[in-house]
Amino acid sequence: MVVPTYNEVGNLDELVQRIQQSCLSSGIDAEVVIVDDNSPDGTGARAEELAKDHDVKVVHRAGKLGLSSAVLEGFAAASSDVLAVMDADLSHPPEKIPEMFSKIQSGEAEIVFGSRYVPGGSVEDWPFHRKLISKGATLFARGLTKVKDPMSGFFMLKRSVLDGEKLDPIGFKIGLEILVKGKYSKVVEVPIHFANRKSGKSKLGTGEYLKYLDHAIQLYEHKRFWLSKYLKFSFIGGIGAIINIAVLWFLVEATGVYYLTAAVASFVVAATSNFVFNRIWTFRSKSEIKSQYARFLVVSVDGLFLNLILLKQLEEGLMPAIGITSDKASLFLIVSQLIAIFIVSIFNFVANSFWTYSADIKSRSKKA
Ligand code: GDD
Ligand code: MN
C-alpha cells in the first residue's frame, strides 16, 4: 500500500490502523509504504514512529516533489507483486482493500480502481463546482480508457502491469498514466464512497488542472498516435487557409499585384507556414530541413491539383447525376469544396507522413 503524504500528520495513525485491520481480517499480508516529501508538519517523523511497531516502511524525499513521482518511488521501495495506492487523508476507505485484492487474486483483473462513478459509488456533499470540474476532467479522459473514474487516486495492480513502460510522473494522475501505458487486459472498478478528508488541507491547486490537461493531451498522443497527428495537421491546415486568404487580399488590395500572381504567392506563404508548424508541432522533426521543405511543397502543389480535379468531378459529374437544381448550385459548390478539402487533407497527411516526415514518423512510432 503506497501512501504519498504531504502534511498528513493528523491522519496517519488512523490510516495505518484501518489498513492493517482491514488486511488482517482478510488474511492479506500488507506493507504500508509512506512516501513523505519532508512535510513541515512532521508527518515523516510520525511515520517513523509508526514503523517501529507496524508493518510500515518510510521513504523520505527532500521536498515537495509531487504526488505521481512519490507513487513511483513507493512502487520501487515496495517488495510485493501486488501494488496499491491510496490517499493518506482517509478519503479512500481502507475497508475496500480486501475486495480489490480478491479481484486480482482470482484473476478477474490485473488492475482494480476504487471508483466513485460506478453504481454504488459516491462522493460526500461536494460543492457544485468541484463536481463539475471532476466530471469535466473525467469526460475529457473518455477516449483514453473505459474506466469510469480514472482520476481516482485509489487503485491496485499487479506489478507486471508496469513492465517495460516508462511512466511520466507529470501532475496528479499517475493512475490514468498507468491505465493508458500499462500492460494488462482486464481492469475492473469497485465502488467506493469518497469521504471528505479527515484532517488538514487539499494539495490539489488550480495549477494541477492545467497540468492535467497537458498530461491528458500527451496521453491521447500516445494512444491515438495517428488521429492526434491528423488533427494537428488539419488544425495547422485551417490556419494556413486563413493565412492564404489574408495574404491574397493584402497583395491585391494594398499592393495591386495581379491576382493570379498574388494567388501563387499567397499559396507559397501558406504552404511554408504549414510546413514550419507541422515540422515543429505535428511531427516534432529534427531532420534536415531543405529537402523536407521541397517535398512539402511538392505535396502541397499535388494537393492543389487533386483539389481541382475532385471539384471538377463533383461539379460536372455528381451534381447533374443527382439532379441538383440551379438554385441549390452555389450551396452544392461549397459542399463539394468541403468534401474535396477533406479528401485532399488526407492525401496531404499521408504523403507528408510517409514521405516528407517519414524519418520522424519511424522513430516516433517505435517509441510509442
Ligand atoms: N509525497 C507527496 N508529495 N504527497 C503528496 C503531494 C506531494 O507533492 N501532493 C499531495 N500528496 C498526497 C497527500 O498528502 C494525500 O495523501 C494525497 O497525495 C492526495 O492529496 P490531496 O491533497 O488529498 O488531493 P485531493 O483530495 O484534492 O485529490 C484526491 O482526489 C482526487 C479526485 O477527486 C487524489 O486522490 C487525486 O488523485 C484524485 O484525482
Ligand atoms: Mn484528499
pTM across the whole model: 0.76
Show the cell assigned to 359: 524519418
pLDDT in tens, 171-226: 789 999 999 999 999 999 999 999 998 888 888 777 788 888 888 988 998 888 89
Q: What are the Cα distances from residue 55, in Å, to 143, 199, 209, 247?
A: 39, 23, 35, 70
CATH number 3.90.550.10 is the correct assignment for the domain at 2-223:
yes
Mean pLDDT, the chain, rounded, equals: 92
- Give the torsion sign (CA, 88, 90, 92, 97): positive
Q: How many CB atoms lie within 10 A of CB 253?
A: 10
Would you place residue 368 in the very low, low, confident or very high pLDDT band (cuts 50, 70, 90)? very low
Would you place residue 365 in the very low, low, confident or very high pLDDT band (cuts 50, 70, 90)? low
pLDDT in tens, 296-333: 999 999 999 999 999 999 888 888 888 777 777 788 88
According to DSSP, the β-strands at 82-85 and 193-194 are unpaired
Q: Whose CA is nearest to atom 13 of ligand 1?
A: 5
Q: What is the pLDDT of residue 361?
A: 82
Show the cell assigned to 293: 521543405
Tell me how far the alpha carbon of residue 15 lies from the centroid of ligand 2, in angstroms: 13
Show the cell assigned to 266: 499567397
Task: Evaluate whether 12 touches 42 at the Cβ level (below 8 Å).
Answer: no
Task: Evaluate whether 2 touches 33 at the Cβ level (below 8 Å).
Answer: yes
Q: Whose CA is nearest to atom 12 of ligand 1?
A: 5
Domain-wise residue ranges, the chain = 2-223, 225-367
How far apart CA 336 and CA 339 sit, in angstroms, is 5
In the block, cell 495506492 appears at 85
Please tell me if the CB atom of residue 149 comes closer than 6 angstroms to any atom of ligand 1: no
More confident position, 109 or 364: 109
Closest to 361 (Cα-Cα) out of 214, 223, 352: 352
Instruction: Please give all residues whose CB falls under 5 A of ion ligand 2, grouped by chain where several chains appear.
Output: 87, 89, 91, 197
Q: Which of 40-54, 151-165, 201-215 has the lowest mean pLDDT?
A: 201-215
H or E segment at 275? Answer: helix 259-277
Which ligand lies nearest to the CA atom of residue 91 in the structure?
2
Q: What is the pLDDT of residue 6?
A: 96
How far apart CA 240 and CA 246 sit, in angstroms, is 10
User: Over 70: is that where the pLDDT of 366 sits?
Assistant: no
